[in-house]
Amino acid sequence: GAVVSQHPSWVICKSGTSVKIECRSLDFQATTMFWYRQFPKQSLMLMATSNEGSKATYEQGVEKDKFLINHASLTLSTLTVTSAHPEDSSFYICSARVGATDTQYFGPGTRLTVL
Amino acid sequence: DAKTTQPTSMDCAEGRAANLPCNHSTISGNEYVYWYRQIHSQGPQYIIHGLKNNETNEMASLIITEDRKSSTLILPHATLRDTAVYYCIVFTQGGSEKLVFGKGTKLTVNP
């Protein structure tokens, strides 16, 4: 199957700082990528849809100015958590859609801990 | 909201077949049935998907009832590494629909 990577796999930061998470499709091009968040013992919640070359589409309740998404190329999308606070601590997961079948392949996730 | 219903948890003996059911009684004609699984602290892994016909790949088999209102994911010889949360999702290809994850089924494979 298609391979999606994320970097870093985990990050610890101080409250008020910004953190950037990268999502890459390694063996295919993805015009659309997705960002999810997962809190402990809960299911994945979609945060935003990232389209190459255009603005991301955010789900209701997700602050676009806090969670900045950039999809500058067909293989890279980045999520920047700005002015992070402890309540932003979560497991962030990206996925990329393979065009032919619309099947989404997921990255391994990034564990963010804000102190 | 998820359009599927799955049991909260299931157990299976190592080496035996694991049969995971999913109800999707309101599925529409152009919606596919997708299965993903999530091993603890990892991103979801794509398993298989289908529309009407039964499907098989190297990981699993997907059996869809004739009326398409339910399906079963079969892991033919479960191993301890198959312990995970399994998600059944209905999804329309080619549109703007998004994957919606429900609570899934926690499958525990016991030695």
Task: Tell me which of A44, A50, A94 to substitute to probe the interface with B (most B C-beta atoms closer than 10 Å).
Answer: A44
Shortest CB distance from B43 goes to which of A49, A103, A109? A109
Which chain B residues in 12-51 lie under 8 Å from chain A, judged by CB atoms? 34, 36, 38, 41-46, 49
Under 8 Å between Cβ of B41 and B55: no
Residue A1 has pLDDT above 70, yes or no: no
Bridge partners of A105? A96
Rounded to the nearest angstrom, the minimum Cα separation between B104 and chain A is 8
Tokens 């589409």 sit on residue? A57
CB contact under 8 A, A93 and B93: no
Residue B97 has pLDDT above 80, yes or no: no
| Residue-wise pLDDT tens digits, A62-109 | 999 999 999 988 999 999 999 999 999 999 999 998 876 788 999 999
Alpha-carbon span A38 to A91, nearest angstrom: 5
- DSSP letters along B33-46, please? EEEEEE-TTS--EE
Mean pLDDT, chain A, rounded, equals 93
Alpha-carbon span A21 to A97, nearest angstrom: 18
**Where do the H-state alpha helices sit in B3-97?**
none
Shortest CB distance from A107 goes to which of B43, B87, B99? B43
| For chain B, percent of residues with pLDDT exceeding 90 | 84
Q: How far from the centroid of its chain's Cα atoms is residue B60's Cα?
A: 10
- Greater confidence (B67 vs A51) lies with B67
pLDDT for residue B95: 67
Strand B105-110 to B9-13 pairing: parallel
pLDDT band at B93; cut points 50, 70, 90:
confident
Tokens 């003996």 sit on residue? B13
Shortest CB distance from A106 goes to which of B44, B94, B104? B44
**Where do the H-state alpha helices sit in chain A?**
none
* Amino acid identity, position A110: T
Alpha-carbon span A36 to A18, nearest angstrom: 18
Closest residue of chain B to A49, computed from CA coordinates: B98
CB contacts, 8 Å: A102 with chain B: 91, 93-94
| Residue-wise pLDDT tens digits, A3-40 | 999 999 999 999 999 999 999 999 888 889 999 999 99
| Dihedral sign from CA coordinates of A46, A51, A57, A58 | positive
| For chain A, percent of residues with pLDDT exceeding 70 | 98
Please name the residues in contact with B2: beta carbons below 8 A apart, sequence gap of 6 or more: B89, B100, B101, B102, B103
CB contacts, 8 Å: A43 with chain B: 87, 101-104
CB contacts, 8 Å: B34 with chain A: 103
Closest residue of chain B to A101, computed from CA coordinates: B93
Rounded to the nearest angstrom, the minimum Cα separation between B91 and chain A is 10
pLDDT for residue A31: 84
Alpha-carbon span B74 to B1, nearest angstrom: 25
DSSP run (H or E) holding A78: strand A76-81
The neighbour count for residue B55, using CB atoms within 10 Å, is: 17
